[in-house]
Structure 1
Amino acid sequence: MRHLSRLRLTAFRNYQSAALDLDGRHLVLTGPNGAGKTNLLEAVSLLSPGRGLRRASFDTVQASGSDSGWAVAATVEADEGPTDIGTGATPEGGRRVRINGANARSIESMSEYLRVLWLTPSMDGLFSGPASERRRFLDRLVTTLIPSHSAAVSDYERTMRQRNKLLDENGNSAWLSAIEAQMAELGAAVHLARTDSLLHLETLIGQSLVDESFPSAHLALTPLFEEGHEGTSAAELETALRTAWQGSRGVDRAAGRTILGPHRVDLEVTYRQKGVPAALGSTGEQKALLIGLILAHALLVKLRTQITPFLLLDEIAAHLDPDRRRALFEALDGLATQCFLTGTDRLLFEALGSRAQMVTVRDGRLYQD
Structure 2
Amino acid sequence: MIVSHLELVDFRNYASATFDLTAGTTAVIGDNGQGKTNLAEALAYLATLSSFRGAPGDALVRVGRDQAIIRATVGHDDGRESLIEAELVANGRNRVQVNRQKLNRVRDLLGTVRVTVFSPDDLVVVKGGPGDRRRFLDDTLVALATRYDSVRLEIDRIVKQRNTLLKQAQKATGGGRSELPDDVAVTLDVWDRRFAEIADQFGHARATLVARLSTMAQQAHAELAGERTPIELRYEPGWRRVGLLAALAEARADDVRRGVSTVGPHRDEVEMSIGGLPSRTHASQGEQRTLALALRLAGHRLVTERTGSAPVLVLDDVLSELDDHRATALLAHLPDGQVVITTAGELPEAARTDRVLRIANGAVVD
Normalising by structure 1, what TM-score?
0.85
Rate the CA distance shift 1:42–1:269 in 2: closer, same or farther, 3 A. same
Q: How far off its partner does 1:254 sit?
A: 1.9
Structure 1 position 4, deviation (Å): 1.0
Task: Report the Cα distance in structure 2 between the residues aligned to 1:119 and 1:224, rounded to whole angstroms.
Answer: 32
Which stretch shows the higher mean deviation, 173-182 or 83-92? 83-92
Paired position in structure 2 for 1:237: none
Matched, 1:277 2:278: yes
Residue 300 (str. 1) matches residue 335 (str. 2): no
Q: Deviations over 1:14-45 (max 9, x none)?
A: 22222101121222222222222222211111
Q: Which of 234, 241, 245 is the equivalent residue of 2:244?
A: 241
Q: How many Å apart are 1:312 and its aligned residue?
A: 2.0
Deviations 1:113-144 (A, max 9, x none): 42122122222243232111111122122221
From the superposition, tell whether residues 57 and 151 of structure 1 become closer, same or farther in structure 2 (CA, over 3 Å). farther
Give, in whole Å, the separation in 2 of the partners of 1:327 and 1:167. 51
Name the residue aligned to 1:31.
Answer: 30
* Percent identity of paired positions between Structure 1 and Structure 2: 29
Match of 2:172 in 1: none
Counterpart of 1:266 in structure 2 is 269
Per the alignment, residue 73 of structure 1 pairs with 71
Runs of at least 5 residues in structure 1 that lack an aligned partner in the other structure: 231-239
What corresponds to 1:62 in structure 2?
61
Q: CA deviation at 1:366?
A: 2.4
Deviation beyond 6 Å, 4+ runs, structure 1: none
The residue identity in structure 2 corresponding to 1:262 is: P
**Structure 2 gap ranges (5+):** 170-182
1:254 aligns with 2:257: yes
Aligned to 1:367: 365
Distance 1:344 1:12 in 2: 20
> Amino acid of the residue matched to residue 306 of structure 1?
G
Q: CA deviation at 1:309?
A: 1.4
Q: 1:204/1:345 Cα in 2 relative to 1: closer, same or farther (>3 Å)? A: closer
CA distance in 2, matches of 1:317, 1:246: 49
Number of matched pairs = 347
1:247, distance to aligned residue in structure 2 (A)? 4.0
Distance of aligned partners of 1:321 and 1:203 in 2 relative to their CA distance in 1, 3 Å threshold: closer
1:164, distance to aligned residue in structure 2 (A): 0.8
For 1:34 and 1:176, the matched residues in 2 are separated by 51
Question: Secondary structure, in 3 states, of the residue corresponding to 2:162?
Answer: helix
After superposition, where does 1:154-193 map in structure 2 within 5 Å? 154-170=153-169, 172-193=184-205
SS of residue paired to 1:367: coil
Q: Does 1:200 align with 2:201?
A: no
> What does residue range 27-176 of structure 1 map to in structure 2 within 5 Å?
27-67=26-66, 69-78=67-76, 79-89=78-88, 93-107=92-106, 109-170=108-169, 172-176=184-188
| Structure 2 match to 1:345 | 345
Aligned residues of 1:43 and 1:72 also touching (Cα < 8 A): yes
CA distance in 2, matches of 1:310, 1:349: 21
Q: CA offsets per residue over residues 295-351 of structure 1, 9 Å max, x none?
A: 12211111111021112222110122333222222212xx112122222112x3443
Q: Which has the larger radius of gyration?
A: 2
Deviates more, 1:302-311 or 1:358-367: 358-367
CA contact (8 A) 1:29 1:360 kept: yes
The structural deviation recorded for 1:205 is 5.1
Name the structure 2 match of 1:316: 318
Q: 1:214 aligns to what?
A: 224
